[in-house]
Structure 1
Amino acid sequence: MADPPTGVSRALREAPPDRVVEAADRAIRSVLGASGTAVFVADYRSSGLWPVLDSRQPSAGAEAVPGVLQRCFSSQQPVRDLAEDGRCRLYLPLSVWGERLGVLMVELPEAPAETVVRRAADIAGEVALALRAADRETDRYRRARRQERLSMAAELQWELLPGRSVSHGSFQLAGQMEPAYTVGGDHFDWSLDDNRLTVTVLNGDGVGLTAALLTAVTVNAMRNARRSDGGLVEQAELASDTVFYQHRGHRHVSTVLLELDCATGRVGAVDAGSPHLMRLRGGTVSRVALEQQLPLGMFAETRYDLQEFDLDPGDRLFVVSDGVWAADPSGRETYGERAMARSMRATRLQPPTEAIGTVMRELQAFHADADLRDDAVVVCLDWRGSARREGD
């Protein structure tokens, strides 16, 4: 008999991209004897989980408990919810390569044995992979994620992202953009290649769609250099020249480029005018001092220097845009002066996927829950220490 996850995989592969949820429901009912399933996806702020519903099909998800959903999503562990009649709703994280997509709920006739939970977790992994792939071919899951209409600038920014989190044997990484539905020029990008992680965070000049278009050009110029085996300096210089020859110095992009050697913890860096780099080591938050060079696009043929620093196992790096660091909603001291360090220290026991939310929530509280005046980006990187890659 075929291994159950393989059977589910086949059903998911053969389903149209906009019907992955229905295909998963049929396969899981067959393989696990479930009476119902539901898929919930995280919204753009990762502040809520919302069902992918088909109005033609009743969903057991209508009875899902929000607190249990959030506990599963936050802990990234299966959670059982046993009803008085003996039925059990099993909540399973939907994540792939460390990116948290949502939660799969499976309704079972009785409390499952550990072997069933493990099998269901494997199936959830297959569903997550299928959803991530299908997301390129349909708008269905994007519609479920958004709780209000995105601005044109935000639409462009979110489509440009590599993801919102990623994990590896030696690191965990996560990022968040706010205000999620109207973000303009601030952005982040990353790529993992041959045990080297490249991370960039950008403050695009201007507001709205104009800033988003400038950032899109900059990100793709850096990707072009990176995908042609160019190092950080070449990435910065190509992006700078591209922006300059398009805008003749009237527009620029403040950017920090980082490359982590996942085996040694050595970090190469190019600081092109901002954002800010903070290190949490133990209980102490300190700024990583880098030589600040010209923002990208200010002058023709600007040349950049590479700097380096080391991470210790257990170190946490935060990269924040000016919209975080310089926030001063009431004319008092900026968020980066003292409040930001307090919020970063409060994340010590949280994974990066939760830590970015903590810093953003504290930023919102600093604004007394008023709308952010500027775009804000937080990226959080934990280096765990050297880890051998599978196959090495």
Structure 2
Amino acid sequence: MGDGADVDPVPGAEEVVGSLLEASHLAAPHEVPALVADHALRLGAQDPVLYLVDLEQSVLVPFTGPGQDVPHDDLPIDETVAGRAFRRVDVETQETGAGHGLRVWLPLLDGTDRLGVLGVLVPDRAALTAHGGLLELRLRRLAAAVAGVVVSRRRYGDTIVVARRRATMSLAGEIQWALLPPLTFGSRDVVVAAALEPAYEVAGDSVDYAVDEGRTCVAAFDAMGHGLASAQLAGLTVAAYRNARRDGRTLLETAREIDDTVLSVHGGRTFVTGVLAELDTDTGVLRWVCAGHPRPLLLRDGRVVRHLDDTVGVPFGVADDEGTGERGVGAVRLEPGDRVVLYSDGITEARSPNGTFFGLDRLVALLTRTEGDRLPPSETVRRVVRDLLVHQQGRLQDDATLLVVEWRRGHHTTLLPDPAPPRTP
């Protein structure tokens, strides 16, 4: 026998996760924090508190329910142990001092989409690792269940949505966030990670993707103008894209459908730039159509090896009598681990207060540095956006979008934490 591993220190603990999931079926969104706290306590973990990542992914925000008096402040992602657990997608610990126990931070994940962290107190490190790491294993499982509860409950009320906001959302931003898919997805074959800024005022920029058997489709759009009208145009464009994609249209047919839709509603008075791409996840062949948008970048082994500029057509919605010409379809075969980067001109043309452009060279340098550090695409995207906001001192003059697609077949990339150590028999 190993270290008394035959004696369960918390009888009934194996039923805690199941109990949480069952109780969540009848829980309203605002009841989630109390529900999580109750079940964490049943594992012997004290002072449980949920943190959700804010929309700008700069801080972790405490998520508390009615009547919960939890004196915790926002936690900067780049400066705290909790933030490190979020960034690295792994369990982190923190000595609290004065014999108050060990703070354990566990990432909350919806697949590979980082929702926030769960923080709990345990007596000490020995308690966490005793019995073959049984308590850590149970806390990991609890965190996985908590993430599922947060995702399922946020659809039924505003509590969880509002908890992530640290500023007033514009009406245009409200339209865009309702339209967006989850901004991170990961599987054994492909990873997609995206970010849009300014988070609370984004209007004309948008992204979309679909991961299906043997094929991953991604798109990035930049609708002309600003504010509500731009958001409406972006929404129309994304709807046309989804409709054509789901109908099985080719890339060129889909582009034509977007053209016709924008023209039929706006009569050639406005336009949308964009990139449509389709990745064969079995072979690694990427095909794309570029409509007046900045050329995507291809990264391999930490450096840009190609600008995908074989074919560049005019923006979507430009009237035929203005000479659209025929758009072409570019193609390239990726190698496992390659990353394709789609971005809007709101990144490269962002100006600092002294007028300096953020520029393509700076973007490329950031992308290569983060890939060299073997960061997952979601963290790469977050760090680029952080640097962009610093460059413009926190205030963007235009929408800025970044989307990274990585083909992973047979390639190792850190996406999820390593499994907890097994219990010693």
Q: Report the TM-score when normalising by structure 2.
A: 0.84
| Structure 2 match to 1:390 | none
Q: What is the CA-CA distance between 1:23 and the residue it aligns to?
A: 1.5
| Structure 1 match to 2:212 | 193
**Contact 2:59–2:75 (CA under 8 A) maintained in structure 1:** no
Taking the aligned partners of 2:172 and 2:74, their CA distance within structure 1 comes to 36
| Structure 2 match to 1:223 | 242
**Contact 1:276–1:325 (CA under 8 A) maintained in structure 2:** no
1:18-33, aligned counterparts within 5 Å?
A: 18-30=30-42, 32-33=43-44
1:371-386, aligned counterparts within 5 Å?
A: 371-386=395-410
| Structure 1 match to 2:163 | 144
Q: What is the CA-CA distance between 1:55 and the residue it aligns to?
A: 4.9
Q: Which amino acid letter does the alignment assign opposite residue 35 of structure 1?
A: Q
| Structure 1 match to 2:53 | 42
1:12-161, aligned counterparts within 5 Å?
A: 12-30=24-42, 32-59=43-70, 61=72, 67-84=80-97, 85=99, 87-110=101-124, 111-113=127-129, 114-161=133-180
Give percent identity, aligned residues only: 31
Q: Which amino acid letter does the alignment assign opposite residue 309 of structure 1?
A: V
| Structure 1 match to 2:367 | 344
| Structure 1 match to 2:420 | none
List alignment gaps of at least 5 residues for structure 1: 388-392
- RMSD, aligned α-carbons: 2.4
**Contact 1:184–1:212 (CA under 8 A) maintained in structure 2:** yes
Q: What is the CA-CA distance between 1:86 and the residue it aligns to?
A: 5.4
Per-residue CA shift, 1:118-177, capped at 9, x if unaligned? 221122111111211211111111211111101111111111110121111122221111
Taking the aligned partners of 1:69 and 1:277, their CA distance within structure 2 comes to 34
Taking the aligned partners of 1:317 and 1:198, their CA distance within structure 2 comes to 12
How many correspondences in the alignment?
A: 385
List alignment gaps of at least 5 residues for structure 2: 1-11, 412-425
Q: What is the CA-CA distance between 1:266 and the residue it aligns to?
A: 1.1
Per-residue CA shift, 1:163-221, capped at 9, x if unaligned? 12111112222111111111110111111111321111001111011100000011011
Match of 2:315, SS? Answer: coil
Against the structure 1 CA distance between its residues 29 and 328, is the aligned structure 2 distance closer, same or farther, given a 3 Å change threshold? closer
Q: Which amino acid letter does the alignment assign opposite residue 35 of structure 2?
A: A
Taking the aligned partners of 2:217 and 2:28, their CA distance within structure 1 comes to 34
**Contact 1:49–1:102 (CA under 8 A) maintained in structure 2:** yes
Taking the aligned partners of 1:251 and 1:336, their CA distance within structure 2 comes to 26
Give the stretch that moved more between structures: 70-79 or 13-22.
13-22
| Structure 1 match to 2:310 | 290
Q: Which amino acid letter does the alignment assign opposite residue 202 of structure 1?
A: F
- Choose 1 or 2 for highest CA Rg: 2
Against the structure 1 CA distance between its residues 13 and 232, is the aligned structure 2 distance closer, same or farther, given a 3 Å change threshold? farther
**Contact 1:79–1:90 (CA under 8 A) maintained in structure 2:** yes
Q: Report the TM-score when normalising by structure 1.
A: 0.91
**Contact 1:263–1:386 (CA under 8 A) maintained in structure 2:** no
Taking the aligned partners of 1:36 and 1:333, their CA distance within structure 2 comes to 47
Q: What is the CA-CA distance between 1:4 and the residue it aligns to?
A: 3.5
Match of 1:379, SS? Answer: strand
1:197-216, aligned counterparts within 5 Å?
A: 197-216=216-235
Q: Which amino acid letter does the alignment assign opposite residue 8 of structure 1?
A: L
Q: What is the CA-CA distance between 1:95 and the residue it aligns to?
A: 0.8
**Contact 1:244–1:300 (CA under 8 A) maintained in structure 2:** no
**Contact 2:30–2:65 (CA under 8 A) maintained in structure 1:** no
**Contact 1:12–1:24 (CA under 8 A) maintained in structure 2:** no
Match of 1:213, SS? Answer: helix
| Structure 2 match to 1:273 | 292
**Contact 1:276–1:322 (CA under 8 A) maintained in structure 2:** no
Q: What is the CA-CA distance between 1:36 and the residue it aligns to?
A: 2.8
User: Does 2:321 correspond to 1:308?
Assistant: no
Q: What is the CA-CA distance between 1:88 and the residue it aligns to?
A: 2.4
Match of 1:136, SS? Answer: helix
**Contact 2:92–2:105 (CA under 8 A) maintained in structure 1:** yes
Taking the aligned partners of 1:173 and 1:307, their CA distance within structure 2 comes to 20
**Contact 2:29–2:160 (CA under 8 A) maintained in structure 1:** no
Against the structure 1 CA distance between its residues 8 and 375, is the aligned structure 2 distance closer, same or farther, given a 3 Å change threshold? same
